[in-house]
Amino acid sequence: MAEQHPRPDDDNPVAGYEAEDTVNLRAQRLRRPESEPDEQPAEEPADDTAPDPYGVGQDALAAVETPDVDPAAFYRARLFDRQEEDPTAEPAEAGLRGRINAALGTHLKPKPTSAEVRLRQSIRVVQQPLPGCSVVSVINPKGGAGKTPTSVMLGSTFGKHRGHGVTVFDASESLGSLGDRAARTTDPELTVWDLLDHAHELASSSAVSGSLNAFLRRQPTMEDILAADNSADRERNLGWDECAAVMAVLRRHRDLIVIDTAANPLAESWQWAVQHSDALVVPLPLRLDIARQVYQMLEGIIARGYGHLLASTIVVTCATPDSNPQLASAVFEDLRNLGVQESNFIQAPYESALARGDQIVYKDLPPDTIEAYTNVTALVADNVAAARAGAAYQFTDPYSPQPANRQPDSAPPPQLSQWERRSRDRRGA
């Protein structure tokens, strides 16, 4: 039998396979695997989320309510710290000694009890470090009592001596006058509503600090003005949610906010400003009708559970041409009985440039007015520092933990104000 030899193709068992085309492995490209759908259900939002109509984010809104940590709570080596400067070390520039120094080239120092030394001390107090983002609200329920001029002067003084980082915010529901009283405006005149239209981008983690400047009005003394809308055809007022969104933006880019409030203590913007303030400033012309309304306003703050704010309330009195200086002692006594500290009463001179309604240019004001408002601003700075240090201590003290957000007091509101009791006693009722 002849021996059978295998065919050459028998060595390749797939030689006759033609079901698929030949694959060129060198021409292949790797593909990214398709992502599998996440089988875990999305987390439902918490029930206690705050309204966020302007998209600034829950973290930004929550940060407004969270106390900042006081830097003084951390240990700092003080051995190498520079000691405080003596305010009398520099030669006098004002008064008789200042004129002698300027005329003769001498270096006479000012007297320790002189107004120049007090001014230097006030400037140093204004420049003190304030932790976090501090809020000062200027309040008075009476229109024309000087809220806007006081706000402008506080902002200008803080801006001149602290530099960039100070913003004066007009929290009027509508038709606020802060933008009209400021020394400088912008073209176009953007307002708080323009900022709210871009609140989502400005409050994001990728926001650039300089992007906020387009919505503010930089002043010659380096503070910024956030003006209210002066149009009367807008369908809504500035309310609670708007103020919360504005603050969520400002606290990311600024460290001191002065709020110029309107004359309606029942407005949402007014209540938001008061409840989120570290210090309150009450301009008080010595008139009976204004004093009565201020007393009732402070009673309302106590009734709402925020009586602790009276400890950091500064009352700035002013003897206007139509005021009655004899009211001062009675007004001070009544406000002290409510809780205003005796050291927090301070007097400012009457200045026609602030009262006539024109633009307020800081450098054109008399030196006495600038000095007086520097002393006022120093008192405000001291109260802000004390209030924020107390809040931070309450928040961080490990031995007596307290809630981060102060709960309203449970004391019922007073049924009869002191003004009414005095009136009743005088009538013999």
| 3-state SS, one letter per residue, for the chain | CCCCCCCHHHHCCCCCCCCCCCCCHHHCCCCCCCCCCCCCCCCCCCCCCCCCCCCCCHHHHHHHHCCCCCHHHCCCCCCCCCCCCCCCCCCCCCHHHHHHHHHHCCCCCCCCCCHHHHHHHHHHHHCCCCCCCEEEEECCCCCCCCHHHHHHHHHHHHHHHHCCCEEEEECCCCCCCHHHHCCCCCCCCCCHHHHHHCHHHHCCCCCCHHHHHHHCEECCCCCEEECCCCCCCCCCCCCHHHHHHHHHHHHHHCCEEEEECCCCCCCHHHHHHHHCCCEEEEEEECCHHHHHHHHHHHHHHHHCCCHHHHHHEEEEEECCCCCCHHHHHHHHHHHHHHCCCHHHEEECCCCHHHHCCCCCCHHHCCHHHHHHHHHHHHHHHHHHHHHHHHHHHHHHCCCCCCCCCCCCCCCCCCCCCHHHHHHHHHHCC
pLDDT at 347 over 90: yes
On whether the CB atoms of residues 300 and 282 are closer than 8 A, the answer is no
pLDDT at 12 over 90: no
> In the chain, what is the straight-line distance between the N-terminal and C-terminal CA atoms, in Å?
148
> Is residue 15 very low, low, confident or very high in pLDDT (cuts 50, 70, 90)?
low
Cα–Cα distances in angstroms (integers) from residue 280 to residues 300, 310, 378, 384, in the given order:
14, 8, 14, 9
Which amino acid, one-letter code, is at 380?
Answer: V
Provide CB contacts within 8 A for 261, sequence distance 6+: 137, 138, 139, 147, 171, 172, 269, 270, 273, 274
Task: Specify the fold of 58-70+131-398.
Answer: Rossmann fold (3.40.50)
pTM for this predicted structure: 0.75
Quote the CA–CA distance of 139 and 281 in Å, as a whole number. 6
Span 274-327, pLDDT tens digits? 999 999 999 999 999 999 999 999 999 999 999 999 999 999 999 989 888 888
> Is residue 131 very low, low, confident or very high in pLDDT (cuts 50, 70, 90)?
confident
Domain boundaries, the chain: 58-70+131-398
- Whole-number pLDDT of residue 134: 94
- Whole-number pLDDT of residue 274: 96
Span 145-200, pLDDT tens digits? 999 999 999 999 999 999 889 999 999 988 889 999 999 988 788 999 999 999 99
Average the pLDDT over 75-96 and give the result: 71
- Whole-number pLDDT of residue 20: 67
Q: Which two tokens stand for residue 346?
A: 């301070």
> Is residue 10 very low, low, confident or very high in pLDDT (cuts 50, 70, 90)?
low
On whether the CB atoms of residues 338 and 306 are closer than 8 A, the answer is no
- Whole-number pLDDT of residue 429: 53
> Is residue 372 very low, low, confident or very high in pLDDT (cuts 50, 70, 90)?
very high
Quote the CA–CA distance of 263 and 144 in Å, as a whole number. 9
Quote the CA–CA distance of 402 and 238 in Å, as a whole number. 32
Cα–Cα distances in angstroms (integers) from residue 40 to residues 31, 37, 44, 392, in the given order:
26, 9, 12, 39
- Whole-number pLDDT of residue 233: 79
- Whole-number pLDDT of residue 232: 79
Number of Cβ within 10 Å of residue 250's Cβ equals 24
Looking at per-residue pLDDT, the higher value among 191 and 61 belongs to 191
Average the pLDDT over 365-394 and give the result: 88
pLDDT at 262 over 50: yes
Average the pLDDT over 378-390 and give the result: 91
pLDDT at 404 over 50: no
- Whole-number pLDDT of residue 405: 43
Closest CA to 157 of 168, 146, 144, 170: 168
Lowest mean pLDDT among 24-33, 269-278, 307-316, 369-378: 24-33
Quote the CA–CA distance of 291 and 332 in Å, as a whole number. 10
pLDDT at 401 over 50: no
> Is residue 210 very low, low, confident or very high in pLDDT (cuts 50, 70, 90)?
confident
> Is residue 52 very low, low, confident or very high in pLDDT (cuts 50, 70, 90)?
confident
Lowest mean pLDDT among 87-96, 231-240, 282-291, 409-418: 409-418
Average the pLDDT over 117-121 and give the result: 91
- Whole-number pLDDT of residue 181: 93
* % of the chain beyond a pLDDT of 70: 74
Average the pLDDT over 104-122 and give the result: 90
pLDDT at 67 over 50: yes
Quote the CA–CA distance of 219 and 223 in Å, as a whole number. 6
* % of the chain beyond a pLDDT of 90: 51
Looking at per-residue pLDDT, the higher value among 292 and 62 belongs to 292
- Whole-number pLDDT of residue 403: 39
Mean pLDDT for all residues in the chain: 82
pLDDT at 336 over 80: yes
